[in-house]
Structure 1
Amino acid sequence: PQPPATTAVRSAVQVLAQLGAVEPLPANQDVSLTALGYHLSSLPLDVRIGKLLLLGALLGCVDATTTLAAGLSCRSPFVAPFGMRAEADEARRTLAVGNSDHLTLLHAYSLWSGCSSRAEQESLCQQYFLSHKGLQLVCATKRELLDHLEHAGFVNRASSTLRGSALGSVHSAASTLTPHHASDSQLIKALLVGAMWPRVAKVEAPASKGKGRGAPQPERSDSGDVRYKVKDDAGVSSAALHPSSVLAMA
């Protein structure tokens, strides 16, 4: 097999360094794994999602972060049948929590896992345009991730709460995330920022020009989509929210 290109290796090392997974060794060009990097190397996940999982375990937010890690690693459970995009979008808006795709995913999974029977789960999926098989896969992946955390010593298998929530039990102690659970939401958002950094964007409205009192208008593309300016080491580029995001629907 051909070795990876040097530029690809450098890019990968840069990502790992940004995440705190590697650190340079003195007096040479090599790097070594940090404690975080050691644990990330054993997880079958993208490194950023793996960091989210570990941060959640350290800060007592295991249930939510294992659900998120599983959900982000699987195909989205939100579906839009042909010709029913508008209905599917409206259903997602109904489920939406805090204009956040991540909190909305947690809300959907919590509703599904709290159902008392398969028939109730399937009815819920039909109502909110969710994939029952997709949520089952998220559930199975979540169980595998909890096994990894237990093996690494981050969680205790004796915890019935973790077992129940991983298996989607009706007795799961995981609360449904709603706008009223502000402290939970803020912690999860903070964990996401910590895990995904520096792939984090902050929207700042430009200073108003002139004497008008109206809010500054965002830049729009020819199709009418709101465009955002993204600044990084490479310069400034333009980006748009994916139309399926609850942020784009807000």
Structure 2
Amino acid sequence: MLLGDPSFAKDWLIYPLHSSIATEDQEAAFLVPPPGIRKVVLATNIAETGITIPDVTCVIDTGKHREMRFDERRQLSRLIDTFISRANAKQRRGRAGRVQEGLCFHMFTKHRHDALISDQQTPEMLRLSLQDLAIRVKICKIGGIEETLSEALDSPSAKNIRRAVDALIDVRALTNAEELTPLGHQLARLPLDVFLGKLILLGTVFKCLDMAITVAAILSSKSPFSAPFGQRAQADMVRMGFRRGDSDLLTIYNAYLAWRRVCQTTSASGGKEFQFCRKNFLSQQTLANIEDLKGQLMVSLVDSGFLSLTDDERRALNRLRYSNNSRRRHQQFFEIPQRVNLNSENDAITTAVIAWSFYPKLLVRDTPGSRGLRNVGNNQSISLHPSSVNKGHNEIRWLSYYHIMQSKAVYHAHETSAADAFAIALLCGDVKADMFAGVLVLDGNRARFALPDWKTMLVLKVLRTRLREVLTRAFKQPGKLPTAQQERWLEVWQKIFSQDAHKENGSTAVTKA
């Protein structure tokens, strides 16, 4: 808007600094402007401590920031506008005058600074999820979860600790007695939250590991898609061109695969890689970071003993582990073993694995064709974030999601993926079968599924039991292959979830009751 005024644009340069902007585009803010031109940097608190722009001589501090807080009761993140602390104000003041004298204008009163705002920002333990911390307490064997966390300097409330424990029980990481389950032991060995850790473990068992570990790396980092200043509509159009499987996550994975193919088929000069990323509004640096994080997660998975490698595969992983990233002339990739990666291109399987991993993070459209979605975990009304590839596709009945964020009065689901009713009934939560009514009830009436006949119900119950046995063995005896009988059941499951068979049978055999 400002640059649209010719009289303003000729004398000023404006650079936004925001986490959604590609790293390469942010670097322009560090350039010294030509003589007679004034530079303005519009920054979030990314500029508070993370970067220093040498030629900044004046800082205008609004006195506010947007802070992420996790609501344990509703199991959602809230992005709230709040006043900064005195420590934040000092950091902002220090952005001017790092290498030369400068000025800082704080847009709030001295009375507010001295008497009303806090000394320090709210500790993370009081505003972020306690689930990861709780599971670390159990793996370290330092006492009960509530007892240990209540002894912290800034201890969370007993209610929030209880809610975090209940959430871990819900994902089967803890028993009702607050002991680690076999799944919980495996999750504790991975440097991820429980949902992303579960995604990698299930991705290994159900042979779509490349998809799972890439998605986990993306959600642990940030989306490689960027929206340059003034080009959001064009960037959104390009992103939709990568749409796959009615899934935000598979859409990003699809873009990652396209980038990887370009890197693996071009020379070390990187010219075509740069052109590809600029054309498709992708951050080259973010994609490289995702690939590096994939390697680290692969190392953690192997070191945990859950995945066994051949000698050649281990040597290849070690070369990646000990290589010097800063000296690479060419992006290095570790090829996921084919035996655990047969299904990464199968949308029916990958979306099912995502739904199973993220459960109970599940949305349902109670009225077909309506815009309204309900969170099955707490019956709350939810909207899709405007950037979702599923926004406006009201024919999709079930959606898994990674997180919900409250912004002002709106609750938006992020990183959604379409889920099939058959997949949900097969491996999400606990089900109770009512043979006479022809209905499966999920987790105390969170959802109900109508089946066409008793034979379908019997098949689903048997397959569900056998797949549970496969997972139990995998978690209790990590690194061991399934038995011959379990392999046969996996083949049955694989056949049911093959693309063609699933389209013909899977989505129609089970419907929402």
Task: Indicate the TM-score class for this superposition, using the shorter chain for normalisation.
Answer: 0.7 to 0.9
Determine the C-alpha separation between the residues in 1 that align with 2:160 and 2:334. Answer: 46
Instruction: State whether residues 242 and 251 of structure 2, in contact with CA within 8 Å, keep that contact through their aligned partners in structure 1.
Output: yes
112 and 245 in structure 1: CA distance in 2 versus 1, 3 angstrom threshold: same
Equivalence for 2:359: 197
Q: CA deviation at 1:242?
A: 0.8
Task: Give the aligned partner of residue 56 of structure 1.
Answer: 203
User: How much does 1:171 deviate?
Assistant: 8.9
Per the alignment, in what secondary structure is the counterpart of residue 179 of structure 2? strand
The one of 386, 390, 400 aligned to 1:247: 390
Query: Given the superposition, is the C-alpha separation of residues 170 and 196 from structure 1 closer, same or farther in structure 2, using an over 3 Å criterion?
Result: closer
Asked whether the 8 Å contact 2:200–2:212 carries over to 1, the reply is: yes
- Percentage identity across aligned positions? 32
Change (3 A) 1:242 1:189: same
Return closer, same or farther for 1:40/1:171 CA change in 2, 3 Å cut-off: closer
- What is the aligned-residue RMSD (CA, Å)? 2.9
Q: Measured at CA, do residues 6 and 136 of structure 1 come closer, stay the same or move farther in structure 2, by a change above 3 Å?
A: same
1:230 to 359, 369, 374: 374
Q: Give the distance between the partners of 2:256 and 2:244, measured in 1 at CA.
A: 13
Judging changes above 3 Å, is the alpha-carbon distance between structure 1 residues 105 and 160 closer, same or farther for their aligned structure 2 residues?
farther
After superposition, give the CA deviation of every residue in 1:30-77 in whole Å (9 maximum; x if it has no partner): x10011111111221111011101111122222111111101111111
- Separation (CA, whole Å) in 1 of partners of 2:334 and 2:190: 28
**Are residues 45 and 63 of structure 1, via their aligned partners in 2, closer, same or farther at CA, if it must alter by over 3 Å?**
same
Mapping of residues 35-74 of structure 1, within 5 Å: 35-74=182-221
For structure 1, the 5+ residue unaligned runs are 26-30, 176-180, 207-215, 219-225
* Higher helix residue share: 1
Counterparts of residues 50-199 of structure 1 (less than 5 Å): 50-115=197-262, 116-117=266-267, 118-158=270-310, 160=313, 163=317, 169=332, 172=335, 184-199=346-361
Name the SS for the 1:201 alignment partner.
Answer: strand
- CA distance in 2 between counterparts of 1:245 and 1:135 reads 20
Change (3 A) 1:168 1:11: farther
Q: Is the 8 A contact 1:56 1:65 kept in 2?
A: yes
Going from structure 1 to structure 2, the CA distance change for 1:156 and 1:123 (only over 3 Å counts) comes to farther
Deviations 1:173-213 (A, max 9, x none): 799xxxxx89711111111111100111133435xxxxxxx
User: Do the aligned residues in 2 keep the contact of 1:80 with 1:129 (CA within 8 Å)?
Assistant: yes
1:20 to 166, 172, 177: 172
SS where residue 241 of structure 2 aligns?
A: helix
Matched, 1:2 2:154: yes
TM superposition shift of 1:83 = 0.6
Secondary structure of the residue that 2:380 maps to in structure 1? strand
Q: 1:72 to 1:93 in 2, by over 3 A?
A: same
Give distance in 1, aligned partners of 2:247 and 2:287. Answer: 19
Write the distance in 2 (CA, Å) between the matches of 1:37 and 1:88.
40
Counterpart code for 1:89: D
Name the structure, 1 or 2, with higher relative contact order (CA <8 Å, separation 6+).
1
Aligned equivalents of 1:170, 1:2: Cα separation in 2:
42
Q: Which consecutive unaligned segments of at least 5 residues does structure 2 have?
A: 1-152, 322-329, 394-513
Residues in 2 aligned to 1:131 and 1:54: alpha-carbon distance in whole angstroms: 28
| Contact 1:146–1:155 under 8 Å retained in 2 | no
> Corresponding residue for 1:213?
none
Q: 3-state DSSP class of the match of 1:49?
A: helix
CA contact (8 A) 1:52 1:69 kept: yes
Q: Which has the larger radius of gyration?
A: 2
Moved runs in structure 1, 4+ residues, more than 3 A? 156-175, 231-234
